[in-house]
Structure 1
Amino acid sequence: MVSEFRIVCDYPYSMEQVWRVMTEPGLVAQWTVTGQGGRPEGFEPVAGTHFRLIAKPVMGWRGIVDCEVLEVDAPRLLRYTWVGDEGEAPSFVTYRIEELPTGTRFTWEHTGFTGVGGFFMAKLLRSVRTKMLTVAVPAVLEQTYPRPAMNP
């Protein structure tokens, strides 16, 4: 049993602005707080970079995700491994960023979960990521790149 999920969001911001919010460690830490925290440590969008996402430990999880950047094509693509528990096989996260006439389409893909445990982990992470991408990321984009108020 292999599980995966994909979340697609459209943002009224440029590809470069979305890329920055998704990859600059200080900004990433602002939108990941809606989940378990996932503060990036040692992250750079450079292939071969090993980094960690550090969150608050909970029962049954040490609070650390070990990752390695596999592929980068800024500002269009970022792909990295995801290992939530020491010794487990990696799953894979991919960010795809596409220009739209009204802004940018961001697609989050998380693939490679295996077994029953992977099925439940994919379900849990999908729920957390959906909140991050539909609530927190727009808030960070707005805070970072305020849009002019419309006159009534």
Structure 2
Amino acid sequence: MSAIHIVRAYPHPPQKVWRAVTDPELIPLWTATGAGARPEGFATAVGTTFRFVAKPKPGWSGVVVCEVLEVREPSLLRYSWQDEGGGEVTEVAYRLEPHGDGTRFTYDHTGFHGLGGFLMAKILGSVRTRMLTTGLPAVLNGLDGPCAPHPGSPRAT
């Protein structure tokens, strides 16, 4: 079985990181360094079903269906992940813990099987690394500044 495991430290408190990774207005801003997915119907409530919608690519509709499996604000979000066209159901977990003056963020995406799963984990792993190394820090750094995105602003859609 293949998996994606990424750990990053951010110089921001867990509550701020939690907001950036769970606020539907902010998620597209940091995922833009990847495929630019936006959540539709997302809420941090167990049982919520939602979709991530990204730009379609050859052989992929750009849509992933998910269900929130576990929430412990501001330390854990776990949800299922499945291509809209079917296939195996995998699982994503965000774990946040205080670390010095900031937050240690652990991203795990598990449940990839076989050669196809191995290849998918490699592709998604490089995209997720870029999002968590470039995209999320930019959003975190901008949240409290004069250029912070506000709901309804062009940057927040």
Report the TM-score when normalising by structure 2. Answer: 0.90
SS in 2 for 1:106: strand
| Cα distance in 2, alignment partners of residues 145 and 28 from structure 1 | 16
Over residues 108-150 of structure 1, what are the superposed CA-to-partner deviations in whole Å (9 max), with x where a residue is unaligned? 000001111110000000100000001110000011024xxxx
Q: Distance in 2 between matches of 1:65 and 1:59?
A: 15
Quick one: which amino acid aligns to residue 59 of structure 2?
G
The structural deviation recorded for 1:102 is: 2.1
Give the Cα separation in 1 of the matches to 2:84 and 2:51. Answer: 12
Partner of 1:46: 45
Report the Cα offset of residue 88 of structure 1.
1.0
Q: How does 1:107-122 map to 2 (within 5 A)?
A: 107-122=106-121
Which sections of structure 2, spanning at least 5 residues, go unmatched? 146-157
Q: Which amino acid aligns with 1:82?
A: W
Identity, % of aligned positions: 53
The answer to whether structure 1 residue 11 and structure 2 residue 3 are counterparts is: no
Give structure 1 regions of 4+ aligned residues with deviation exceeding 3 angstroms.
Answer: none
CA RMSD, Structure 1 to Structure 2 (Å): 1.2
In the other structure, the counterpart of 1:62 is 61
Alignment of 1:1-152 (within 5 A): 2-146=1-145
Distance across 1 between alignment mates of 2:92 and 2:109: 4
For residue 101 of structure 1, report the CA deviation from its aligned partner: 1.7
Q: TM-score, normalised by structure 1?
A: 0.93
Q: How many aligned positions are there? A: 146
3-state SS of 2:83 partner: coil
CA displacement at 1:89 relative to structure 2: 1.8
